[in-house]
Structure formats: C-alpha cells, structure tokens
Structure 1
Amino acid sequence: MKNALVIGAGPAGLMAAEELALAGHGVILAEAKPSVGRKFLMAGKSGLNLTKSEDFKVFLKAYGNASAALHPMLDAFGPDSVQEWAQNLGQELFTGSTGRVFPKVMKASPLLRNWLKKLDKLGVEIKPRWRWIGWDGNEVLFETPNGPQRLTPDVTVLACGGASWARLGSDGVWSKHLKKKDISPFKPANMGFLVEWSDHMKRHFGNPVKGVELRAGNLRSRGEFIISDKGLEGGGLYEVSQAMREGSPLFLDLAPDLNEGQVRARLSRPKGKLSISNYLRKSLKLDPAKQALLMEFAHPLPEDLTPLIKALPVRHQGARPLDEAISTAGGLRFDALDEGLMLRDRPGTFAAGEMLDWEAPTGGYLITACLATGRWAGRAAASYQGSATVR
C-alpha cells in the first residue's frame, strides 16, 4: 500500500481521494476548514446544479480557451458519468427545461453525506483544520490543531480551490507555494457588476428580469438576472461576464423575440392618451423592471425608441470583488502540468479542480469539471510509476 495525500476537500479533492482509495492506497485528506465541502454545500442552497445534459461538443465549448486541455478529462467523466455517479450515491435526479441536472431534493447535503460514508468505508482519513503551508524538500508541511505536522506521501493531489469565497476555504493562498511563472493571475468569474442606481430603482431591488437577451462581445445569454441594491447579478449575467470583465460593453435586447422592424411597427401605433409606461406595456409587453432599466440607462427617452429596445447600453462600474465571485479565472497553468495533471517540476504531485487555470459559466459546468479533473488526477496519481493499477 502506498501513502497518498490529498489537500483540499471540495468536489475535486473528494473525487481524487476516492480514486486513490479504490486503487488500494492509504489516503489522508487534509482540509483547512473545520468541515469538508463547504462551497459545495453553499452551491446546493439554491439547488445543486450537478451538470448539464446537452451535446458534448456544445458542453465542451463552455470552457472556452481551456476546452482543449479539459477535453480528455470531460470525455472520460462528462455529464452522463456525473449523473450515473450521483445516482450511485443514492440521488434521484431530474433534468430541467434548459438541460440543467439537479438532485430531486435540490440540496447537496444528502449526496455529500453518502459520499463521505463511502470514503470512510474505503479507509480515507479526513484531517480537518489541517492547513497546508508548503514544502520542505520532500516533506509536506501543515499547521494543525495539534501543532506542526510533516508528511512524506508517495503521491500528493492538490485540490485547493480558486480564490473566491475565502470564508468557505477557497482563498488562493496556495499560489504562494508554487512558482510564480506557473500561475495565471486570479480574476473573478461568474460575478455580479456594480451599478450606481438612481433612487427610482430602489423599488425594483430583488426583482428578476426575464425575457431579455444579454450581449457582451461574442457572448449571448437568454437567462434571467437580478436587479440588486449593489447592481446586477444572476445566471444570465454570468454567461456574458467573461466578456464584460475583459472590457466589452453590455447591451440588453428588451424584446428578443421581435426583430427591429417588428418593434418599430409596434411603436408606430398611435399612443393616444396612454402614459409612456402603459404604451410600452401594451405595445411591447415591457414589464415594470424592463421599463425601469430603459429609463435608467436611456433617460431622457428619444423619439425613436427602437434602437434602445433592441440594444440598451448598460452603464456599470465594473465587476464585484474577487472574493464575492462564484468562481475564479486564472490559477495553475496547464503548461506547468503534464497530461496526467502532475506538476512538471515536482514529480508525484498532481493538481485538480478550480485551482487550475480554467473558467466556465454556471449551469453545471463548474462542478462537472471539478469532479472530472479530480478523478483524472486521482487516477494518474494512483498509477504514478506503476504504484497501482488504475481501474
């Protein structure tokens, strides 16, 4: 039996620990926080979106520039595999109208409990409150409740998370233990954007905006978003947030099911004694939230409203802080790793999960890639120098 160490007990780390244990290794799973899977559990509070059921080529495109690097891992453990895995952990699943896959209970806690029971039966030893503080030669160093600890595992899998939601464990501090050249700077991903609202918007705070198309750069989204006291947030916005982060302006199509000619024809109807609010509601079915956004970003309204209805420019003051982002871009570069996700300059040490340099929108892509890379790194570590046979 070989001694294996996994650092970080999110989905990627738990999956790597499972693969190593199944291959016959004795596994220590070190977690800096008092309990495991904290960000995973937080994701489940609004409904645990495990994966997305769609054509694999479409699914893969969601990972953008990292799709080539992630292709073999997602091909080996993609949406269908994630669903089978969850079902084997006792979860009944359902697929929503957009292809998003959820447990019927919607929460993450039942799945995590069953997963931890499985890991316990496999002999995985979980060490909470063990914070990794780097290496001393071949020794892996930890701060623990019982004082400093040094381990000399045969193989190590790093699954330390990204750099958002530090209170849940993803603080990015691990990056200082690796070579600077191997790290791409952290950036927020799937984040809200700051808007300095005028007072008339207060009554719309917390309201969803549906039935619009968001456009930024080459990205498009028909998902809904939320008007909050701090600005804009929500899944529809997250789908275009990468382009916005890189400087592309945001435009809203308030009537995406009508072309410009149809909008202009409807707006050519006599207004009569109708207020502008009732006129827009009757002619284009613009609800109060859409009308409020139109007034916020286009007041005073011009005589020809059609261009604004089809491409309303949204002023914002930039992305919300990194720590508030759902996920992060940047991290450990793929060219610092071999095809098994092993660090080229530290043989026997592998990496997985959100600490790798990739990003994707919400909608099941994030958890799927964390599981897939954790499985890949775990299997590669298990077979390192022929130490075990990968199933």
Structure 2
Amino acid sequence: MTAHTQIDALIVGAGPAGLMAAEVISAAGFSVLVAEAKPSPARKFLMAGKSGLNLTKNEPLVPFFAAYDPIPGTLRDALTAFGPDQVITWAEGLGQEMFTGSSGRVFPKAMKASPLLRAWLSRLTAQGVELRRNWRMTALGDEVRFDTPEGSAKVSAKTVVLALGGASWARLGSNGAWADLVSPYVALAPFMASNVGLLRDWSPHMTRHFGAPIKGVCLRSGAYSTRGECVISARGFEGGGIYAITRGLRTGAPLMIDLLPDWPAERVKQTLIQRKPKETLTTFLKRAFRLPPEKIALMMECAGSKPTDLQTALKHLEITDIRLRPVDEAISTAGGVRFDSLTENLAASSRPDLFFAGEMLDWDAPTGGYLLTACLATGRLAGLGVIKALS
C-alpha cells in the first residue's frame, strides 16, 4: 500500500464543487491533493457544456433564492457570498468572455465548458494543487484509502473535503455509492430524482408529434409552476418546463398545463361560444385560438376528442398516467447530506475536519444555472471552512 505524507487538505471529487474548494484553499497557501475516481476531472460539467454551458442566472437574489425553495439557511449564506455576479466575475477572471441571454441565463461566449475547465486546471496547477486520476475512495477514517492504478493508497490529511456528486449519471461518476462511507459522520436524506423527464404511454395518433415542443404554456404541479415549454417524446415528456416542477411531481401532485396562459378565463369563455355550427373542433381551435397541431393533439389525448368542459381542457389540462423517469436518468438529485448535521462552514458537526460540498448536499433546484452556481458556492464555503480550521 502506498502511503502519502500528511497534506493540509484532501479533496475527493474533481467536479465544480471540489475544484472550487481546491482553488480557495490553495490560494491561501495550503497544500492540496485532489483525488478523482474517473480518468479525467469534471466529466458531468463537461457534459453539461456540450449544449451550451449555462453557468448561472443573472437575476436579483430574491427570485434567485426562490429557485431553491425551500432553501437551507447555509446554502442561502453561501449564495449570498458567491452568487450570479461573483460567478460571472470568477469566470471572466479565467479569461472567459460571458454573455447573458434573453432569459437571463449566463453562458461563456465560447458556449463550451472545455475552455473554462482548461484555464481553471491551469490555475490550480500554478497554485500547487496535485490531481490524482482514477483514485476511487474505499475507506474514510483517520486516513482515507483509495484504489488506484498503482494499487491501494492511503492519504493522511489535516482536513478532508468530500465533493462526490449526487446519485444521477452514474456513468459520469455520480452514483451515490459514497453514502455508506459517510453515514457514520452525517445524517442523510434519501436520494430523489430531480430535473428529470416523465414517462407516459401514448396512443398511436401522438407518434407524429414526437420531438415537437409545446411552447408558450404554463406548467404546474403542486406549489411549483413555470412559464416555459416542454417536449413530447416517444417515452413521455422532457425539457426545462418539466424539470422546473419536478419537486411538485415527486410529491404525487398532478401535472397541469395551461395551453393559453395569456388568455384570461373570461376571454376563453366568450371565444368558445363563437364556434360556428358544424365546425370541427380541430378547425375551431386552430382558427379561434391559433393552437398548433401538437397542442391540439395533447389536449385531445388527455381530455378526449370531445371534451365535456373545453374551457378546463384549455386552461387546466391534467396530464394523466405519468411517472418520473429513474434517478440515473435525472440531471440532478435531491437528498444527500443533511444541513442539520453540518456546521455553518459545511463541516460535519461530529467531525470538524470533514467537509462536504456540491450536489451531495441535500438541496434542490431547477436547471438554468442554479445547479452549477450552488456547487461553486458550496465548494467555496467548504474551502473557507478548511482555511479557518487550518489557521
């Protein structure tokens, strides 16, 4: 077994949270070793950037915090100190020109994650951070043990930061397998799928609409609602509109869609009585409400070809027979290390040298820049906690 001399900080997990903790700690002059189970760091981060790296959301803190509702107090503090403005400044400091889209979402001008990650890793190397790849943690105690390409290794560190991800996207390293290792030190909430699509069996007439976006609708489930869109797929639904209300769907609340969110109920009622004799329902909906084929098909699929209450079908369409896709198909997970078992610096209350950061903490938020911002903010907070413990 290979033994490593004691270092100031061992960070397990080289995703955004772990790398941010490494940056903060090494910048303060402490020795840092980062251990990553995969052959390369930040794999989920790179995957997220393939379609455009949405790093944060440029909006005031009050609506920003609302995306995490109910937001844990420690997470609120972390985001207050390192929120959208600070994330943008940080990325620009890595040489990445940023821009804000019409929705408020913030992206690097290059769109991809790889240029930012290369610049980030270069900064960490310059600050003396050591990165070990293909190191999988196998034991967590006074020493931390790993399986490595060279065999077993053990590391003795004054402080340890765990940034191991949630329980989604196992192929990229986030599988929640760390739960048994950390359970002696902290309380855990069960993992649940978040930002995940829905499964639904469609009748044959929906086939031609697979891939069609349902735009300009209001989606609601329980206490959660969003104005956006979703996509009809062969397996059900997916897209940002569905992801934003996952928390309601998880509780069993129904999925409701307002197909005409810009139409007040009274206007819909008055328009309905103007239907011409012998005019087919499809023709009427196209003419009077300008509904596209995919919206009409969805309404008829869920309310019937001859709805008894057309106004309700248009304004409060209930999507029946749905179920969440499996956790491993989710973009993120809720559940994990509970904040009530941690200090304000994200250290375990029972072990002040052991810190936690990122998605392995029990918080939840939709896509749109909220996930990455919280990972960066908690990584920074854990790093500051390490500095305080070492000082």
Pick the aligned partner of 1:291 from 293, 296, 300.
Answer: 296
Pick the aligned partner of 2:189 from 173, 184, 188.
Answer: 184
Find the aligned partners of 1:270 and 1:298 in 2 and give their Cα distance: 19
Comparing 65-74 with 226-235, greater Cα deviation is found at 65-74
Tell me what 1:160 maps to: 164
Cα shift at 1:274 = 4.0
CA RMSD of aligned residues (A): 1.4
Find the aligned partners of 1:164 and 1:64 in 2 and give their Cα distance: 21
Pick the aligned partner of 2:56 from 43, 51, 62.
Answer: 51
User: What secondary structure is seen at the aligned counterpart in 2 of 1:29?
Assistant: strand
Question: What are the superposed Cα offsets for residues 343-372 of structure 1, whole Å, 9 maximum, x if unpaired?
Answer: 122221101000000010111110000000
Q: Normalising by structure 1, report the TM-score.
A: 0.96
Pick the aligned partner of 1:151 from 147, 155, 163.
Answer: 155
Pick the aligned partner of 1:99 from 91, 101, 104.
Answer: 104
Tell me what 1:380 maps to: 385
Contact 2:65–2:71 under 8 Å retained in 1: no
Find the aligned partners of 1:111 and 1:121 in 2 and give their Cα distance: 15
Tell me what 1:36 maps to: 41
- Counterparts of 1:167-178 in structure 2, within 5 Å, are 167-178=171-182
Cα shift at 1:156 = 0.8
Letter in 2 for 1:57: V
- Counterparts of 1:106-125 in structure 2, within 5 Å, are 106-125=111-130
1:215 aligns to 2:231 (yes or no): no
Cα shift at 1:303 = 4.8
Tell me what 1:349 maps to: 354
Contact 2:275–2:284 under 8 Å retained in 1: no
Pick the aligned partner of 2:135 from 126, 130, 139.
Answer: 130
Contact 1:60–1:67 under 8 Å retained in 2: no
| Structure with more strand by fraction | 2
Letter in 1 for 2:295: K
Question: What are the superposed Cα offsets for residues 215-240 of structure 1, whole Å, 9 maximum, x if unpaired?
Answer: 11111111111111111111011111
1:277 aligns to 2:289 (yes or no): no
Structure 2: unaligned runs, 5 residues or longer: 1-5
Find the aligned partners of 1:305 and 1:346 in 2 and give their Cα distance: 60
Letter in 2 for 1:172: G
Tell me what 1:264 maps to: 269
Fraction of identical pairs, as percent: 53
Cα shift at 1:44 = 0.8
Cα shift at 1:295 = 1.0
Find the aligned partners of 1:379 and 1:2 in 2 and give their Cα distance: 17
Find the aligned partners of 1:360 and 1:229 in 2 and give their Cα distance: 26
Pick the aligned partner of 1:371 from 373, 376, 379.
Answer: 376
Tell me what 2:3 maps to: none
Comparing 174-183 with 290-299, greater Cα deviation is found at 174-183
Contact 2:307–2:313 under 8 Å retained in 1: no
Comparing 269-278 with 83-92, greater Cα deviation is found at 269-278
User: What secondary structure is seen at the aligned counterpart in 2 of 1:313?
Assistant: strand
Superposed structure 1 runs of 4+ greater than 3 Å apart: 272-275
Question: What are the superposed Cα offsets for residues 308-348 of structure 1, whole Å, 9 maximum, x if unpaired?
Answer: 10000001331000011010000001111111101122221
User: What secondary structure is seen at the aligned counterpart in 1 of 2:228?
Assistant: coil
Count of residue pairs the alignment pairs up: 385
1:244 aligns to 2:258 (yes or no): no
Find the aligned partners of 1:68 and 1:284 in 2 and give their Cα distance: 45
User: What secondary structure is seen at the aligned counterpart in 2 of 1:173?
Assistant: coil
Cα shift at 1:99 = 1.0
Find the aligned partners of 1:363 and 1:341 in 2 and give their Cα distance: 25
Comparing 26-35 with 273-282, greater Cα deviation is found at 273-282
User: What secondary structure is seen at the aligned counterpart in 1 of 2:139?
Assistant: strand
Find the aligned partners of 1:364 and 1:64 in 2 and give their Cα distance: 15
Cα shift at 1:270 = 3.2
Find the aligned partners of 2:230 and 2:114 in 1 and give their Cα distance: 26
After superposition, the Cα gap between the structure-2 partners of 1:76 and 1:29, relative to the gap in structure 1 and judged at 3 Å, is same
Contact 1:61–1:67 under 8 Å retained in 2: no
